[in-house]
Amino acid sequence: MKSAPSLVVGLLVAALILSMIPVAHSQQGLFESYNPVNLSQPAGNSYLNLMVGLRKYFNSFTSWQLPSNTGPQDPISRLEYPWDQTFLAVRGTTGYGGLEVNMEWSGTLIVLSNPKAQDSDWLDPNNPNQKTTFSDADATPRCWILDLGCNMQIPGFQSLRGVAGYRKSQFKFTNTDGYQYSIYNDETGKYENSSLPLPGAGIEFSQYYQHVYAGGILDTSLDVEEISGLRVPALSIRVQGDASYITGNSHDQHLLRYAFGIISSRGFGWHINLTTGFKTGRFRFYAEGDIRGIQTSGSIESIQQNETSGLISTQFIDGAKAWSEQKYLGINGTIFF
């Protein structure tokens, strides 16, 4: 796990070195303001570019939990899905004048994940902080993120742009070949150790988020030649920060028994992205780092079948939570038309 981020950083450094092709550029001082027309060398006052990239996620996860409907446990159950996936990203950008419009899709290239999915329960109402049951399982993530955004230069500030947009994401996992450990028997109310293999597919989990976001972009460039004396292109620096209102919908289906839950939640999110690379003509390499967080809460509709009587019961429980944190390092290649 520790070698993966190091490998990505090495690739990013190599790509940046390859992109350092000497080109003539105007001397505008140490920092140069961002100008879409000058960056892409388009005809007239418009431009179009296409980006294809790879993103390596690390220390990323998505989760949900719910409290007990009758006891003091909060949570009584929690599902956690860490992942370290590599995503393929494709983005199209068009601009006219000061307005820039982006459409981006990214999704998993390989579904197998090294980190295991985790399922925890707190079943003893007399000891609500004691985790009593834990299971882990292989996961097969199928994830994608769609981002539609636009930004425009803020009058009077050459390097600042306002940004707004809409994101939609899916995080979907299947728990397979798990193993469960328990220190408590909820039927007898006594502490006793037990373990149980869970062969095959055990849980189907899916989580969907919709974001409406707004924020700002610092878009400038650094005159490296002015600093170092080396004949190299200007270094583009673009930092985006935004906050979002989020609605979430999570589904948890236990495949080994008739039980599933549906969480409807609302909350907020935040996002920071740093992109940098040398301005090397119509085809360029960029490196980027990205981190975002999601926090939502709401209610869960829990539907279960009693294994003894066969009766199906439905209950609504407030206080459910769904959240996620995502981090990645990436490298992009962009061609300007």
Q: What pLDDT is stored for residue 30 in this prediction? A: 39
CATH code of the domain covering residue 36: 2.40.128.90
Per-residue pLDDT of the chain (337 residues; tens, 9 = 90+): 444 444 444 444 444 444 443 333 333 333 443 343 333 344 445 689 999 999 999 999 999 999 998 899 999 999 999 999 999 999 999 998 889 999 999 999 977 778 999 999 999 999 999 999 999 999 889 999 999 999 999 998 889 999 999 999 999 999 999 999 999 998 899 999 999 999 999 999 999 999 999 999 999 988 877 777 777 788 899 999 999 999 999 999 888 888 888 999 999 999 999 999 998 888 999 999 999 999 999 999 888 877 777 778 888 889 999 999 999 999 999 998 8
Q: Is 59 left (phi over 0), alpha (psi -120 to 50) or beta?
A: left
Q: What pLDDT is stored for residue 45 in this prediction? A: 58
Q: What pLDDT is stored for residue 160 in this prediction? A: 95
Residue span of the structural domain in which 137 resides: 3-336
Q: What pLDDT is stored for residue 46 in this prediction? A: 65
Query: Tokens in use for 67?
Result: 């409290």
What is the SS3 assignment for 332? Answer: strand
Q: What pLDDT is stored for residue 36 in this prediction? A: 39
Cβ density class 130-164: b for 16+ within 10 Å, e for less: ebbbebbbbbbbebebebebbbbbeeeeebbbebe
Q: What is the pTM of this model?
A: 0.82
CA distance 328 to 282: 26
Question: How many domains in the chain?
Answer: 1
Q: What pLDDT is stored for residue 137 in this prediction? A: 95
Sorted by sequence, the CB contacts under 8 Å of residue 229 that are 6+ apart come out as: none
Q: What pLDDT is stored for residue 203 in this prediction? A: 92
Q: What pLDDT is stored for residue 259 in this prediction? A: 83
The CA distances from residue 226 to 50, 275, 324, in Å, are 30, 21, 42
Q: What pLDDT is stored for residue 28 in this prediction? A: 37
